[in-house]
Structure 1
Amino acid sequence: MRHGTDAQIMAEVNERALIRKIAWRTLPLILLSFFVALVDRANISFAAATMNADLGFSETVYGIGASVFFLGYALLEVPSNLLLAKFGARVWLARIMLTWGVISILTAFVHMPWHFYAMRFALGVAEAGFYPGVILYLSSWFPGEHRAWAISRFYVALPLSYVVMGSIAAPLLAMHGWLGLHGWQWLLIVEGLPSVLLALVLIAALPDRPETAPWLDKRERGWLADVLAREAAAAGPPSHSVLHALTNRFVLMLGCANALNYIAINAVVFSAPKLLAQGTGLDVAGVGRVVSAGGVAIALGVLVVSMLAGRTTARTLVTYAGLMGLAAAGLALLWLGGTGASTIAGYVLYIAAAQTAGMLPLAVVSRLIPAGDRPAGLAMANTISQGGGFLGPITWGVLADATGSYQLGVALLIPVSLTAAAVALAVRARSLRAG
C-alpha cells in the first residue's frame, strides 16, 4: 500500500527523470531487437540481386516470396500478442527472436520456388506479434504523452537497418565461393546469427513490468501506476471481449490506413536495389550507399516527428497525413523523373516520409482503446497493416513482369498513399467527436 496522497506522490517524483530512467532500462534492448528483425526481414532484397539469377526466379516468384512473409505474420499476429500478455514480454519476445533467427539462416539453403515460399511464410509466423508486442510492452511503462517519444526512440532501428544493410551487403555478397556457398547465402547466414544470440540476452536482461523492476522505488511505481490508471479510465472500461477489441472502429480504421502505407512501402523496399540500379545505373555498392542515405533520412524524419507529434492524438494524426502526402510526392518524383538524380531524390523522400509515418498508427491505437483491449486491438491493427505488406510485393512483381519495368507500379502507389492520408484525417475527426 502506498502512503500519502496522489498529489504528494506526484510532487515527490521527477517525471522527466523517471521517464529517462525507464527509457535507458528498456529501450536499448528493444531497439537492438527491432533492428535485427528488420535486417532479417528485408535482407532478401539485397540477396535477390544474385539469388534470383542463381535460382532462376522471376519477378513474380520473388514477389510471391516477399509477400507470403506478411501472410504468415498476419495470421499469427493476434494469437502471438495474446500469448505475450500471458507469458510476459521477456520470455515471448526472446522466443520470437530465436525462431526467426534460425529460419532466416535456413532460408540460405532454398533451391526451388516452393522452398522459398515456405521459408518466407515460416519467417512471418516466427516474427508474428513482435512489433505490436513491443507497443503493448511500452504501453505498460510509458504514459500516453510520452509513448510516441518512446516509440520513436526504438523505431530509430529502422533507419539504422537501412544504413547497415546498405553498407555491408556488397562485402557479404563478395564472399561468393567461400566454403562453396553463394554470396547471397552468406548474406542470409551472417545477418541471421545475431538474432539467435540476442534472444539469450533478451531473456536474461529485459525487465518484464514496472511492478517487478528492482530499480524503481515505491514512489516511482506508485506514480506510474496512478498515471496509467487514469489514462485507462479515460479510455473507457475494457470490453472483456476479444471480438469487441478486434472490431473497434479506431483499430480497423488505423489498421486500414497503415495497410495502404505498407502496400507501397513493401513493394518499394523489397525491390529497392533493383529499382535504384535501373534508375541510376549504379552497381551494388552504389545502390547500397543510396539505401544508406535513405536510412539517414528516415532517422532525421523520426527525430523531427517525435518532436512534432505525440502530445495529442489529433496532432499525431495530422502529422501522419502530412507524411503520407510527402510520400506521394516522392513517388511522383520517382515516376516522372527519368534521371539518376531524380530517382535518388524521389526514393529518399518517399522512404523517409512513408517509413516515419509507419510508427504512428499503433501509438494512436494504444491511446484510443482501453488498456484491457490493447493485446488484441494492437495486434489486429498490425494484422490489417501487414495485409498491405502481403499485397504490395506480389502485385508489384506481376506488374514488373508484365510491363518490363517498375513505372506502372510506382504510378499506382501514388493514390494509395494519398488515400492513407485521407483515412487518418477521418480518424482524427471521429476521435474529436468522441471526446
Structure 2
Amino acid sequence: MVTDKPKLETFMQSDKAGSQTVLPGDRPSLNKRIFWKLMPLLILVYTISFLDRTNIALAKHSMSVDLGLSAATYGLGAGLFFLSYASLEIPSNLLLHRVGARFWITRIMITWGVLSSAMAFVQGETSFYVLRLLLGAAEAGLFPGVILYLTYWFDRKDCARATGFFLLGVCISSVIGGPIGGALLELDGKFGLRGWQWLFFLEGLPAILLAFVVWKKLPDRPSAAPWLSSEEAVGLEDRLSQREHQAAHSFKDCLRDRQVWLAIFVYFCHQITIYAVIFFLPGIIGASGHFSPFLIGVLSAAPWLAASIGAATLPGLAKTSGQSRVLLVVGFLIMAFGLVVAVYSPPALALLAMCVSALMFFGVQSVLFSFPSSRLSGTALAGGLGLLNSCGVLGGFVGPTVMGIVEQTTGKAINGLLLMAGALVFAAVCAIRLRHGSERKYPVAVDDTSTFAPAAER
C-alpha cells in the first residue's frame, strides 16, 4: 500500500502521544472536497461495471442464433455470473481490506474488462459458461469494496449519502445502456464480426482504460491523499483508528451479530424486487400493446431516472439513527404501494406508480448499508459488507425466478409484482427492529454526525 509518509508519520506520532488531533473547523467544506475528489471516478467505475454486466441481455437474440444456444443454455449462462460473483464477495472484500483499495479495484477492473471483451470470442456452450463464471469471479467485491472504502473517508451520515451517489452508476447505465448497445449492434458485419461481438469487445475496453486512472488517482486512504493537508489527513486517520478500536473487529463477531443477519434479510427482500423490475419491466410495458419497441425502451428508462433522483437526495435525510429507520420503513412501504398500484392501473398510471416506487430503490439501499457499517470495523466490516452483498445478489436468482413462475402459472408477469410488494411490506416490518451501533445498551459517547468524531457506534 502506497502512502504519503509525512502524513502517516504525523498520524503515528499523534497516536503514540495519545493526544486529540487539532482539526479544522470547516468540516462541511472538507467533506465536499473529499466528495468531489472521489465520487465522480467511483460513479464512472460502477456505470461501466453495470454496462458490462447487462450487455448480455442486449446480445441475447443474435448471440443465441449465431451460436445455436437454447433459451435454457442462455439462461444458465447468464445466471452463472451471479453464482461466482456471490460466492467470492467475502474473500474479495477481505483481500481489499488487506492489500488496499487502489490495487484491488484496479485488479478487478482489468480482469473484468479483459474477460468482458473476451466474450466476443465465445464459440459455444462450454466457452459461454466458462467466461460467464470467470466474469462473475473477476467483478466480485467491487460494490462492497467501494462501500468499505467510503467508510475510510466519511462518517455514517455522509457515507450513506456517498453510497447513494455511487449507486447512480446503476441508473446511468440503465438509461444509456440501451442506446449504446443498440449502436454497437449496428456494427454487425464490420470486419467480419457480428454485432454482438462488437458489443462485448468494445464495452470491455473502457474498464481496462479506466483501471489505469483508478491506479493513478484513487488514494488508498486519507494518509495517501495528496489533496489533503497533514492536519486533515491526521484527523481522518484518527477517526478511522478510533472506530477500529470501538467496533466489532473480527469476522466471527460479524457472524454472531443478529443485527447483521437482520440487515441481510431486509436487503435480500429489497434485491429480489430490484432484479424482478430490471428483468420484467420492459415486458410489462410492452404487454399493453400500445408502444413501439423504441418507445418501450424510452419508457423503461423513466423509473431509473426517478431512482437516480432518490439516490442523490434521500440518504441526506437520514441524519440520525431514528431518521434512518423511518426512511427505511417508509421507503419499503412506498415501494410496495407503487407496485400494487401498477398491477391494477392502466399503462400510464402504472408507469407513474413504478416511478414512485423506483424513487426509493437506492435511497433505501444506501441507508440500509449504514446499519452493519455502524457496528463493525476492520476485518469484520470487510467480511460483513461482502456477506451482505453476496446474499443480496442471490435476489438476482430468486426475484426473476418467482416472477417467471407466476407468469407461467397465471399468464401475466405483472401479477408477480404483488408477491414482490408482499416481500417489501415484510421487509418494512423487519426494518423496525434494525439498530445502529450507537443504540446498544452501553453506547460510546461520540457525536456520529461529525466528520472527525469516531464513526463507529458501539
TM-score normalised to structure 1 length: 0.88
One of 352, 361, 375 as aligned partner of 2:359: 352
Q: Pick the structure with more helix per residue.
A: 1
Distance 1:264 1:115, change over 3 A: farther
- Picking from 378, 383, 392, the partner of 1:385 is 392
Q: 1:129 aligns with which of 141, 152, 155?
A: 141
Aligned residues: 429
1:38 is matched by which residue type in structure 2? F
Q: Against the structure 1 CA distance between its residues 329 and 166, is the aligned structure 2 distance closer, same or farther, given a 3 Å change threshold?
A: farther
Q: 1:180 to 1:414 in 2, by over 3 A?
A: farther
**2:294 is aligned with 1:288:** no
- Judge conservation of contact 1:170–1:285 (CA < 8 Å) in 2: no
Q: CA deviation at 1:52?
A: 5.3
Contact 1:104 1:123 in 2 (8 A): yes
Secondary structure in structure 2 of the residue aligned to 1:219: helix
The worse-fitting range, judged by mean Cα deviation, of 328-337 and 90-99 is 328-337
Report if aligned partners of 2:248, 2:375 keep a CA contact under 8 Å in 1.
no
1:31/1:157 contact within 8 Å kept: yes
Residue 329 of structure 1 aligns with which residue? 337
- What displacement does 1:301 show? 0.9
Shift of 1:431: 7.2
Q: Is residue 2:173 matched to residue 1:161?
A: yes
Hey, what does 1:203 align to over in structure 2?
Answer: 215
Partner residue of 1:174 out of 182, 186, 199? 186
Q: Does 1:19 align with 2:31?
A: yes
Deviations 1:289-341 (A, max 9, x none): 123322221111112203312x223322321222222221222233223x431
2:302–2:355 contact (8 Å) kept in structure 1:
yes
**Unpaired segments of 5 or more residues in structure 1?**
none
Structure 1 residues 363, 185: CA separation in 2 closer, same or farther (over 3 Å shift)? farther
For the Cα contact (< 8 Å) 2:254–2:384, is it kept in 1? yes
Query: Deviations along 1:23-52, whole A, 9 cap, x unmatched?
Result: 222222111111111111123333336555
Once superposed, what is the RMSD of the aligned Cα atoms? Answer: 2.9
**Equivalent of residue 264 in structure 2, options 236, 252, 255:** 255
2:385 paired with 1:373: no
SS at match of 1:426: coil
**2:22 is aligned with 1:9:** yes
Alpha-carbon contact 1:330-1:347 (below 8 Å) kept: yes
1:94-109 superposed matches below 5 A: 94-109=106-121
Aligned identity (percent) is: 34
Q: Which amino acid aligns with 1:283?
A: S
Within the alignment, does 1:72 sit opposite 2:84 as a pair? Answer: yes
How far did 1:399 drift? 4.5
Q: Structure 2 regions of 5+ residues with no counterpart?
A: 1-12, 444-458
Which of residues 409, 417, 422 in structure 2 aligns to 1:410? 417
Match of 1:362 in 2: 369
1:18 match: secondary structure:
helix
AA aligned to 1:368 is: R
Equivalent pair of 1:46/1:273 in contact (CA under 8 Å): no
More divergent stretch after superposition (295-304 vs 244-253): 244-253
What is the CA–CA distance in structure 1 between the aligned matches of 2:174 and 2:291, rounded to whole Å? 17
| 2:248 matched residue in structure 1 | 238
Is contact 2:247-2:375 (8 Å) kept? no
CA contact (8 A) 1:301 1:352 kept: yes
In terms of mean alpha carbon deviation, does 279-288 or 213-222 score higher? 279-288
Distance of 2:67 and 2:41 partners within structure 1: 37
